[in-house]
Structure 1
């Protein structure tokens, strides 16, 4: 090994005694797991209640959901059963939230970049086609081969909830993969419902719906009062879909795709801050209302609606749907018929085997051939577990049972198949994840740098071919990251081009509200070749990193500010930061700064002398330093 000169420098006592190791989750994508877990449990509970109710009080169950409600004035009346209200009206809200998620993913999410979307998109398409093919082959003699739509879709609520309950130890990147896959899966399912399961089509009402949808699009330009206009037009569009013969739930999707989605604009954020400052200086109702409206308007309508409706969908609408549709009668006759029914076995084969082989097989083929982008933590064994979970069809599967099959006995056999497939898929995924975790017990991912340094990808200070490497996962608003970077630069002054220093992002957004914006801004600056100059500028003034401060720094550095502001929301910028965060989550990084010296995690002091010793001798044994909240 190259000889190193040890800098004779006393460790900073404050650095050793007070170094911050803030404990929190790095990956923002897993923050919603609590809600998803509770929603999945409520969905499961409603399913159990529906089955018990349907079997112990069959007449009561059927009579309740066939109760008629009439709504209208004079001769204009609509007559619905409770079952139809759940399936046609409440489920339109569910499909509306699905449409919002689809719109968001294609506008600012995982599906904005083809290189990032390639793997989940191809896996989703294979996971749509192969189940349908298996169903047709198995159920061909049942007379219901047209019901192949039952096996095409994955229940996203159960998928995410189950992943939270039984998933692998570091599910962050797998969860992102499965959510992107589920979006494409939903697009396929919704398209098939519209094309295959639409009967008695009447075109004239759709013309009315089209006019209403045009109104929905242009409502975004109203200066105020958009909420009532959106609500009125949505009801008109829903009624027009109902009259046309196209399933009215698809009205929710059509409306959602026209709702604007965008990242917060810097000027809107600054305006909101100014109004909030004015209210603080002179608190009154007028300033409070102006500040609240400005803050609300800085967030896109899409994201506001997702936040508003998500709890109602998870805690009310989906459990009600399960209660109304999962009430399969499990009499000996029904079970005996299901055991020998090619319809039931076609559903089980399509959901369990079709989803597993389609999703896992296509992903494995892409990984072997080098197609697409697989990050650390997205291993084939974990993809296999996720592919098995995709066999939980449930919500849309039960929904299509009602559309594709008229005979009550056959509907019961199909529901038995859906429930059995969901249970089998859950058990199979649990087994795969447990085997996967057991396979990785001999490797501690937290001690080894999972993503090797790549000169084409990483931000490297120093020679790309240097024999010594320090990788820092940090946060531009963390004072201790500033100290660590200072120490590393001292090491570089001593070693010169024998050291390469690599920065990767792990913003602690819970404690540093501007940290994520700073990380994305540095990536935007890197597109103009000024990453490390921007890094030093952010570290120089950690207290002032609001949007206007970031733009001013770009201007001071001589960047093309117009291009810089456009790049702040570019997929390659936001995706790069998210990749670093998911890598950090996969390695169990819960605090910053976290340093890797020659690929091994560094523990103990990070003054220049200690780092040079670690470079020459390996990580020193050290007593863990005190932990403090904040960075």
Structure 2
């Protein structure tokens, strides 16, 4: 049975860049984590703590302050990381997905469930114990590791799920910072806090007065950070608040026109003054928020967060430490919180707003995908280590047990997520339009017979004909693509494979253009080359991407557009008459195939069809 959800908007291009940076930085973060663990367990492992406890002072005359290297990383560099998080939050609220209440409602409630339930599980396990202060450790997901794992999962994880989890991660990050600020602040200095508020008011006033002087904002921002640090509140709160105040706006037509006029004037009469004015005008078509994200996000993803992991992941894994962790309620609470608490909290938080019709999901997500996303969200690392350092600052033993719990819980959550995605695929899930209803069997027309226009591989007189109605953006079709390749290699000339278009334009915005481009390639005898390219690049099917793929084959993708579109529509209409309502849908010798999409299940069905064909031939 096909599970359905309401279709939403496609993922904005800004999110594509964010996702690419996050997933690409995962390998660097993983390497830094392993390096920290190895360093702490080498024969000279004492140097790990000694190095990160080295003091570094900043002084001006008689004034200044001193922090050790680990605190500079946790209190200083991580403030810049959360500043970028604040930039992303501000952009999404003003011009991104968070503007739409119904789109943000489901991941918002899911994020709350994914924070509250893990904390409750941990608190229950550690009630009355020495580790009670660590209830905040299993609350946060690690966006970089989660998106990195989803990149490995590939087409099993559609892009709308990444958008859903990214929105969830934004809410998750805000909640984690509020927890740090409210519950992990020990000694509060009211004068320093008032100074921080006054400096923040100065920044807000400068923005209101439109005084755009970057050096002044940098100096004021550093002053706010120092004041918040002295106040006793963790300074990362300053980072996220400052990031949320940076100006963001959608580009305006007048700005584009002005920039274009200046560039044209510069091409006619080049001058330093005109070059400076044209440069400034072009820059202003994009908000300072997005320009800062472009510059800072690679630094935070590839440098700051890996350095944080290197400074905090080091834990001695000797026999005594592992024995203590195996019986520790802190370790058990974190593992259960990340593995079971996150999974159940996000699943329940997703089901509830959908059940009450509070919101919608992006794209045509099904429960197998959502539960897989809920499972991998149990990978808690960066912020979990961050809170560990605050919760158990005076107890190195509990810190070690907590870090072991974070590592074990994250690994188990990754394994659970992979298993859920695997099971969802093996059950033969499919994409379908919202509110699609199956055509009753009595009303189905016969499957359209083979025709010279069909895209087919294999001899026309093959004993078995396998017909697929597919969609180039459907993740399940992408999974089946690799299976079918192995299947055709196994059976050779005994099987003829026919691909027919069934683009789900209601849920896959790039499906129709991709199908049209494949038809343009077909005019040049290159359909199967384009077929492989499109299924190999399912997450990159924008018009620009499609134009590039066609150019690489020497094809004009948009030539004879109406004829190609009519060909695609004819395939879909024929499939609808035959009862097709979802992708992929397979027919074996004209009979609907309803089994899983794995190689052995397909092979068993084809073997049965071959036996039937042999029996009919004998009679």
Q: Confirm or deny: 8 A CA contact 1:105 1:111 kept in the other structure.
A: yes
Cα distance in structure 1, aligned partners of 2:541 and 2:435: 16
Residue 202 of structure 1 is matched in structure 2 by 189
* CA displacement at 1:62 relative to structure 2: 1.0
Residue 563 of structure 2 is matched in structure 1 by 606
Cα distance in structure 1, aligned partners of 2:570 and 2:110: 47
Cα distance in structure 2, aligned partners of 1:39 and 1:52: 20
1:135 alignment partner, one of 107, 118, 122: 122
Matched, 1:426 2:414: yes
* CA displacement at 1:35 relative to structure 2: 2.5
Q: Confirm or deny: 8 A CA contact 1:261 1:301 kept in the other structure.
A: yes
Matches within 5 A, 1:231-630: 231-405=218-392, 406-440=394-428, 443=430, 445=431, 450-451=433-434, 506=509, 606=563
* CA displacement at 1:225 relative to structure 2: 5.4
Residues 1:284 and 1:58: Cα distance change in structure 2 (over 3 Å): same
User: Which deviations, in whole Å up to 9, do the C-alpha atoms of 1:173-216 show, x marking residues without a partner?
Assistant: 10111111111111111111110001110111112111211222
SS of the aligned residue for 1:106 comes to helix
Matched, 1:101 2:50: no
Cα distance in structure 1, aligned partners of 2:215 and 2:573: 68
Residues 1:380 and 1:613: Cα distance change in structure 2 (over 3 Å): closer
Matched, 1:50 2:67: no
Cα distance in structure 2, aligned partners of 1:183 and 1:613: 43
* CA displacement at 1:439 relative to structure 2: 2.6
Residue 536 of structure 1 is matched in structure 2 by none
* CA displacement at 1:617 relative to structure 2: 5.5
* CA displacement at 1:376 relative to structure 2: 3.9
Q: Confirm or deny: 8 A CA contact 1:167 1:430 kept in the other structure.
A: no
Matches within 5 A, 1:83-122: 83-122=70-109
Q: Confirm or deny: 8 A CA contact 1:128 1:152 kept in the other structure.
A: yes
| TM-score normalised by structure 1 residue count | 0.68
SS of the aligned residue for 2:245 comes to coil
Cα distance in structure 2, aligned partners of 1:171 and 1:616: 25
Residue 36 of structure 1 is matched in structure 2 by 22
Q: Confirm or deny: 8 A CA contact 1:40 1:161 kept in the other structure.
A: yes
Residue 441 of structure 2 is matched in structure 1 by none
Q: Confirm or deny: 8 A CA contact 2:11 2:159 kept in the other structure.
A: no
User: Which deviations, in whole Å up to 9, do the C-alpha atoms of 1:345-394 show, x marking residues without a partner?
Assistant: 00111111100000012213444454421344311111111111111110
Residues 1:608 and 1:324: Cα distance change in structure 2 (over 3 Å): closer
* CA displacement at 1:99 relative to structure 2: 1.1
SS of the aligned residue for 2:156 comes to coil
SS of the aligned residue for 1:70 comes to strand
* CA displacement at 1:616 relative to structure 2: 7.6
Residues 1:107 and 1:375: Cα distance change in structure 2 (over 3 Å): closer
SS of the aligned residue for 1:77 comes to strand
* CA displacement at 1:166 relative to structure 2: 2.1
SS of the aligned residue for 2:563 comes to coil
Q: Confirm or deny: 8 A CA contact 2:103 2:362 kept in the other structure.
A: no
Residues 1:587 and 1:273: Cα distance change in structure 2 (over 3 Å): closer
Residue 555 of structure 1 is matched in structure 2 by none
Q: Which has the higher contact order (CA 8 A, sep 6+)?
A: 1
* CA displacement at 1:141 relative to structure 2: 4.2
Cα distance in structure 1, aligned partners of 2:60 and 2:418: 53
Q: How many residue pairs were aligned?
A: 465
Residues 1:81 and 1:606: Cα distance change in structure 2 (over 3 Å): same
Gaps of 5+ in 2: 1-9, 438-470, 473-504, 514-536, 548-559, 578-619
Residues 1:368 and 1:293: Cα distance change in structure 2 (over 3 Å): same
* CA displacement at 1:158 relative to structure 2: 1.5
Residues 1:63 and 1:375: Cα distance change in structure 2 (over 3 Å): closer
Residues 1:374 and 1:34: Cα distance change in structure 2 (over 3 Å): closer
Alpha-carbon RMSD:
3.4
Residues 1:95 and 1:615: Cα distance change in structure 2 (over 3 Å): closer
